[in-house]
Structure 1
Amino acid sequence: MASDIIHSNAAASRPLRFGIVLLPNFTLTAFSGFVDLLRLASDEGDMSRPVRCSWTIVGESLVPVRASCGIQVTPWTTFDEAASFDYVVVVGGLLHSGPSASKATLQFIRDAAKTSATLVGICTGVFALMRAEVMDGYRICVSWFHYWDFVERFPGVDERNLVADRLFVIDRRRITCSGGRASIDVAAAILLRHVEATIVQKALRIMLVDDAQKGNAPQPHPPGLEPATHPKVRRAILLMEQHIGQPLSLAELARRLDMSVRQLERLFSAQTGKSPHAYGRQIRMRTASWLLTSSDRTVADIATSCGFSDASHLGREFRKEYGESPNAYRVARPQSQSVDLIAT
């Protein structure tokens, strides 16, 4: 798509400039994967000079920022002293441990959004972009693991723009990435718009990465999901998981996967032995059973969360699946014996 193409006038006379902001408890893998691909693609041999691109760690102060694993990285310069950048990359990590992005960090992001820079949110860095209010009207990629955290923290977000079944999304001057190893993929996607493909491919080989994944590649399936070989089936399963409270129609599911309903049904049956409808129902039932044994939420609340019209509807479907009522199922099983979301 034309909107996915990043236009840049970066000339060969100067390196492509990256400013990297590390949030408290950032994920080291996401940071190191991104910056190492820049390093390897920037120079020939083993020199690691910032020839084709340069990178600067920017922070509110020069106080070291602690990664989630405990390693600390010291910013090279402050927001006030930083030069202009072609890309401002915000790397996040843990959501529920310690402070989040500071007011100064959010202001730096807002100021960058007013320039020609492209903003990049990696892992939970996208949460900071949202808090800075620079994502309105853009598609947003989040990890499936943080999908519900995102919806809870930003209830006004248009879920049609929320993508949790792909590795990363490029939408004009905004790039968001699910994190982890995908940070290498998004770095490669950025570099491929500015340098020769052979240079990027060589850097990937040095990192022992066969080839960078495209943004529409599916995120690895969550624990408990039956693995499916075909990426579109895996993406379909992830979409079912992410819309469990308001299940997508088969037509909408097919549309999001860019295929016909008939194609989706045939492919799903070949991969899983079930129809999309049957598989989606299994996801909802397994989730309901898991919530019954791992939480103290009411049956009515669980029914709504899992896409059933009310507690009676869940009760009828539950008896068909498990041969007992939701309350009886809960009483018979201690919370420590929660079941997998999807049967293997």
Structure 2
Amino acid sequence: MSEPIYTLSGSEGQASGVVIAGHFDNPDTYMTRRPGGMEDWLITYTLKGQGYFVTSGVRSVCGPGDITLLKSGTPHEYGTEKGNRWNFVWAHFSPRMMETGLLPDRELIVHKVESEAVRKRMYRAFKRVLADFGERGPYWHELSENALREILLLLAKRMSKPIDPRIEETIRLLSASMCDEVRIDDLARAIGLSPSRLSHLFKETTGHSIVDSLNSMRIRQAALLLRHTDRTATEVALDVGFSNYNHFLNQFRKRYGVSPSVFQKEGFGPDA
């Protein structure tokens, strides 16, 4: 059974750029055909089951974790795969609301999101679109646009530089626990690889070791704190996870060429 569809019409719809959005859970009798295409773009995210799209005579199947992006003006057909249900969230939107670089010049993109963390983030963003439509509270136009833009940015990021989902998850875990003690054995256990295999794959993918990447995250965060707060270098070192101040000092000088105190006093930019 399909959930309610949230629609906009007239000048209100044109102001927001989002024309229609909803959450469907449809049997294999569901099908939509548009020989002339649409003025809007269509984005979907499949939660369960399978759906399909047909463009230029090519049939593409989408399953759980797949994001599809259908270009405006593209003749198409889509629906639920035979013998399945298709549980998905979707939105039609005007290209006027997006930066040109976020909308690739392809009729149809079907992109599988392997990372569970990214899947959850995209789904949360879709739910915000639906919630803001339903509530129609203050600034709901802008809020729904921002949520949709987040989804498209995540998609653009993944398509511009594909990365092994295990390394993507490792980077996320490093960022989330940056201020804590991080052990490669624990990371490897969480990812499902041996410590040696994770270390090799990480270096092969990113060009840096896990430890170097963690130190780089910490130092960049330290630079931001030094630039935008009145905390001392010693306090900042502890804030970002360095228990040894001399190690922090050496790492900071290696990246920025000056000590933390000079960096803070002379007003260097955080990305210097």
TM-score by length of 1: 0.40
Name the structure with the higher helix share: 2
TM-score by length of 2: 0.49
